[in-house]
Structure 1
Amino acid sequence: MTLLIIGGTGTLGRQIVRKALENGFQVRCIVRNKRAANFLKEWGAELVYGDLTLPETLPLSFQGITAIIDASTTKSEDDTELLAVDWYGKLIVVELSKYTQIKRFIFLSILNSEKYPYITLMQMKYRVEKLIKDSGIPFTIFKYAGFFQGLINQYAIRILEQKPILNTVKSPTIAYIDTQDAAFFCVKSLSIEEAKNKVFITGSFQAWKSEEIIELCEKLSGQKAKIQNISIILLKILRQITGFFEWSLKISDRLAFIEVINNTQSFTSSIEYTYSILDINPTEILELDSYFREYFEMMLNLLENLNAGQLKKTKTSII
């Protein structure tokens, strides 16, 4: 089976490429910058130039393809570019998939995207979900609440650097997942017939509240977090105010997304069904406490070595 992976240079995408290659798939990646994506070629993937904003660059990538995994999401803060990539670009991808009779289209989305049309990214994800379901292409959709990797900047680094952490008074319980495990789910679903035309909610088996994550980071780092609590009501007011002004629309979107993450109890969704269909043992999946323990051990050892080196350098200069 030959896989076409879109978004292969991203944090999740590169893990999907690696996992697919490890499982014996032929992998082709659409990339805009071959030099920046050269590490994928070194792993064994084929690189083909393509740009979702330039439809004429895409058809060549689909020749001989059996399945597609779309892990792409623009990081631009420009809504025009977001629409060009995450909607119009995906329209072309779906049409090409229909034309070439792709056997499986795997799309990676965000949990509860259908509930927040006022957030541009969520709206685009939901629209593409509907587009794929209505296309007639055999599909599998994975919906994620968040990844371990994103929590490093949000919590761990801010604690180590003694910077304040923005936290809401009422926080939900969220089942985050490591990108390597998310890639494992994705690639494994290709070989499971029962996963066809299904939507899966995916996360690790243990869910966490933000205050629990902060406590864990404090324990592992030996440092006290600086927390700035904010109410959901204030977030809603700020979003409504900023939404009136064109120059502040991106601020409004960010506040809205914070509101979603921190006020949606349904982000804690049962994933037993996903694990059952994909025949995955929960003990095979990395949990957040183990992930953070490895991170802090590495960082604290690094800081200790840097401090020891600096002390040695200072003593040498004195002598």
Structure 2
Amino acid sequence: MFLVTGATGGLGRRIVRSLRERQMPVRAFVRLTSRYSELEHRGAEIFIGDLQQDKDIEKACRGVQYIISAHGGEGNAQALGYRANIELIDRAKEAGVQHFVFISVLGVDRGYEDAPSFKAKREVEKYLIASGLNYTILRPSGFASNLLPLAEQFRETGIYLLIGDRQSRTSIVSTDDLAQIAVGSVSVEGAKNQILSVGGPDVLQRQDIPRIFGRIFNTEPIIINPPLFVLDGFRSALGLVNPKASKALGTFRTLLDNEFFCTPQEVENLETIFGMKMESLESFLRRYLGV
């Protein structure tokens, strides 16, 4: 039995789908207010709970052999990004879980003090490594699925908002590839007790993304490129009325102000370990956009 947290998210949904395609039993940890009917139709066991409730985590871990922690913590890094994962690890040890896969983030070890989600994930990484559990820590760059709404907006308007440095590099990973890697991590020997950077096969500049959109839709992109200090000004103003929301923007600013890409050697290492070929961003987008 696999337990997947964040099962209705862009990544979690694909992890559940991949497991069910392999006829593996899956317990999908979901919130009552989330859309989980697709997971149920695929044959996943639905566990309705709250990751901020320790008793729910304890119940969800009963009879589980593998855990894939794929939930985000952007809304509450303390409770969801950190505390819920620590509780999951503790309950996994009690339940005799054979392997724990943790979805972290590329650059988590760089010490970004202004990014609560990064700090939470780094502390969870350290706790997991020290736990004695068999683990795989995956550090992906940006998810390709997160660009689908932006691509649909571009289809309608031809406009792309790019805040900050156009030439900042990234290697956005196919979310389907990441799901396959997460599932494979529990059985592939080369992934056992490893920290793996996960990115797409191409190192792109951020300005390449609207150009890819333009090729897909045969439209010359209109790129609106405000400098990063515009976000800083908004964040400062927001801090006067909502300090908590202002702090939450720290992770977003960190993502805009830094480069997150895998080297060709890291991508080649992934492909060797998992016996797969990583999909390009353009290929992923064309598949989902139907063009």
**TM-score strictly above 0.5:** yes
Give the equivalent residue in structure 2 for 1:213: 209
User: AA paired with 1:264?
Assistant: N
- TM-aligned CA distance change 1:113 to 1:239, over 3 Å: farther
Give the equivalent residue in structure 2 for 1:99: 94
Q: Deviations over 1:238-285 (max 9, x none)?
A: 48845864625534543x4454334434534332222222232x2xx3
d(CA) in 2 for partners of 1:293, 1:150? 14
Residues 145-294 of structure 1 aligned to structure 2 (within 5 Å):
145-158=141-154, 160-232=156-228, 234=229, 238=233, 241=236, 245=240, 247-251=242-246, 253-254=248-249, 256-265=250-259, 267-269=261-263, 270-280=266-276, 282=277, 285-294=278-287
Give the equivalent residue in structure 2 for 1:8: 7
Give the equivalent residue in structure 2 for 1:39: 38
For the 8 Å contact 1:83–1:124, the answer to whether it is kept is yes
d(CA) in 2 for partners of 1:193, 1:297? 36
- TM-aligned CA distance change 1:84 to 1:265, over 3 Å: closer
Kindly state the Cα deviation for residue 12 of structure 1 after the two structures are TM-superposed. Answer: 0.7
Q: Deviations over 1:107-141 (max 9, x none)?
A: 00111123323112222121211111111111101
d(CA) in 2 for partners of 1:48, 1:109? 23
d(CA) in 2 for partners of 1:62, 1:164? 43
Give the equivalent residue in structure 2 for 1:306: none
- TM-aligned CA distance change 1:130 to 1:217, over 3 Å: same
- Match of 1:267, SS state, is coil
d(CA) in 2 for partners of 1:130, 1:241? 32
Question: Larger relative CO (CA 8 A, sep 6+): 1 or 2?
Answer: 2
Q: Which runs of 5+ in 2 are unaligned?
A: none
Amino-acid identity (%): 23
- Give me the TM-score of the superposition, normalised by structure 2: 0.87
- Match of 2:52, SS state, is coil
Kindly state the Cα deviation for residue 237 of structure 1 after the two structures are TM-superposed. Answer: 5.4
User: AA paired with 1:165?
Assistant: L
Q: Which runs of 5+ in 1 are unaligned?
A: 299-319
User: AA paired with 1:104?
Assistant: H
Report whether the alignment pairs 1:118 with 2:114: yes
Aligned pair count? Answer: 288
Kindly state the Cα deviation for residue 9 of structure 1 after the two structures are TM-superposed. Answer: 1.2
Structure with larger Rg: 1
- Match of 1:168, SS state, is coil
More deviation, 262-271/108-117: 262-271
